[in-house]
A and B are shown apart, each in its own frame.
Chain A
């Protein structure tokens, strides 16, 4: 029989008090676990949303707003726009810099789903998460000539209960009203990607302009009588242009190229030329774009903005939550100390018996410390299960609102720290009762 077992028997002997003490500890641990996992999920949600384009070119103004509206479809109304002409000119204006440019115009939301007008390139050129291509679960991409084609994100299709071939009337909100200027036909539904695109309705940019122009004409006709114009270039605007630069941004973990013998700072670009690692803040392209005389535009690295935003806002929230959760654990620890302390009177007799049987002072001290450690670790295990079960219960809701898959047993590496952390806490709170055990006078307490 080792001292752990002796401590365990002592816990069992006071089972009710032990269970209550361990339970209060488990609540604290559950809270910490939940906070950690949810934080990681949010982090993941943000990281996944970087969709393989290095730059967002958009109107001058807040960089954060530009990224939030373009990459996350948050706060996308009342934004400045850029002329469509820029999209046409962009390869020529910045020669050799741009690999791919994808125009994006954000429309009025359709039944709460962001409406994104773009070209079919969006699904063909962009990669999400870990360089995954967009895949169609049903149907296919709209053709360039199919002006009234639409593609739905996975969640949007589910929420709006739409199938391939069905029609949506973007402005009236009524389905299947034939031949109106705002009617689009669903050509494809994307597979779940965990990005904000899951929520979105994508339409052909050309159809989007047609829709807007015919509406404008209708309003004009009502105002000025019959007079149909051909649409002018100025009326065609974009919210942003997603740009894939020739110089690729390199993630730290894949610094080595395939052959493995290149110095890590050097990367072979797609054209076969060796170039420096792309760093948006240092490179010339964003500066060139910012300084452009013709257009009032800026270029933003979504990754940089997202990281800053995340660290600033959510990083602090996590810190506060983790501190609160740790306080709960500390309070539970103090509760444990009080609980053990209160039993010290009756224990004094048991301790004296052990001493009379030949246990050293240090031994009885260890028994009390072990008891405290076992109680908090038991609480830790229960809390761990509790926390992850809680996440399991909340996962549908979290997945829905954060647009990221969550599972009950999404373990975080940092949770391993709970074991030494709890052991340390237990040793601290167990110390006072342990010292009382150490000081027990055997002859008096027998």
Chain B
């Protein structure tokens, strides 16, 4: 379903120099598959998710989702694609503060275009993540664990093919972390949605069958590791 080929991303440094971040020769994910991506801070995990979501463009290479090569689409098409096929769960939840939980879920549907608004589904998803009694609360009135569950419901709103979760439990209190992960995994499984979950927590990673270390798929990181190994040795 998802296939990265010769994906390269480098940032331009303030002095104009090139800062290579990603160089992934090949990486794949099957329909409905769930994978954890781990890697040191700053190794490019968020950048990778942004590229898959079409928020960022890679410097070169292919991001194939269901036969679409995302970087080849123009920006409006990528926006549309993201709205309809990709759900995003952020480390800092990123709920819109002026909207209720229910409206936050509806909002994602709104951007997917006409006829995508499904109020029953929005309600159902919020009930599914255990927030049936919190529909009309604004984010400020919810605990962080609840906020992240709203964002899980929001990510699933448009029946996406793929959910990207960027350290979804890093800002959630320990007691609620497992609940959020369970919700995420269960709902993705039920909806047959593929899941890429970035985490630093060995606990969380341990629950997944497939755990990919970004350094192992990413040539840039491998190179850096070799360099540090050489200087150390």
Contacts and interface: CB of A to CB of B under 8 A. Distances in A.
A40 B96 CA distance: 48
B154 interface: yes
Interface string A79-107: 00000000000000000000000000000
Interface stretch (A152-160, A356-364, A419-427): A356-364
A12 B55 contact: no
A14 to B, nearest CB: 8
Contacts of A356: 53, 55, 82, 88, 90, 94
A102 B75 CA distance: 83
A354 to B, nearest CB: 7
A443 B56 contact: yes
Given A9-B103, A363-B111, A443-B56, A358 B97 contact: no
Interface in B45-95: 50, 53, 55-56, 75-76, 79-84, 86, 88, 90, 94-95
Interface in A1-60: 1-3, 6, 9-10, 12-14
Contacts of B111: 354, 357-360, 363
Nearest to A14: B98
A6 B110 contact: yes
A1 B117 contact: yes
Nearest to A11: B98
B108 A358 contact: yes
B123 to A, nearest CB: 14
Interface in A310-355: 349-350, 353-355
Nearest to B85: A358
Contacts of A14: 98
A356 to B, nearest CB: 6
Interface residues of B, number: 32
A443 B96 contact: no
A367 to B, nearest CB: 10
Contacts of A3: 110
A353 B94 contact: yes
Contacts of B219: none
Contacts of B109: 1
A442 interface: yes
A358 to B, nearest CB: 2
A12 B103 CA distance: 14
A442 B55 contact: yes
A393 interface: no
Given A6-B107, A9-B103, A443-B56, A358 B112 contact: yes
Interface residues of A, number: 25
A360 B83 CA distance: 9
A443 B98 contact: no
A363 B56 CA distance: 19
B160 to A, nearest CB: 10
- Chain A's interface: helix, strand, loop or mixed, by majority? helix
B49 to A, nearest CB: 10
Given A6-B107, A9-B103, A12-B98, A360 B80 contact: yes
Contacts, number: 75
A442 B51 CA distance: 12
A361 B108 contact: no
B83 A358 contact: yes
A2 B117 CA distance: 10
Given A356-B55, A358-B82, A2 B96 contact: no
Contact of B76 (A1, A349, A361, A443): A361
B108 A9 contact: no
A2 B80 CA distance: 16
A354 B108 CA distance: 8
B54 to A, nearest CB: 9
A1 B53 contact: no
A2 to B, nearest CB: 7
Contact of A353 (B82, B86, B96, B103): B96
Interface string B96-126: 1111000100111111100001000000000
Interface string A405-446: 000000000000000000000000000000000000011001
Given A1-B106, A358-B79, A10 B154 contact: no
B82 A361 contact: no
A9 B99 contact: yes
Nearest to B93: A353
B93 to A, nearest CB: 10
B75 A361 contact: yes
Contact of A355 (B79, B95, B112, B158): B79
Nearest to A346: B97
16 contacts: A1-B109, A13-B97, A350-B96, A350-B97, A350-B98, A354-B96, A356-B53, A356-B55, A356-B90, A357-B82, A357-B88, A357-B154, A359-B111, A443-B55, A443-B56, A446-B90
Given A2-B110, A6-B107, A10-B98, 14 more contacts: A9-B98, A13-B97, A350-B96, A353-B94, A356-B88, A356-B90, A357-B111, A358-B81, A358-B86, A358-B158, A359-B111, A360-B111, A443-B55, A446-B55
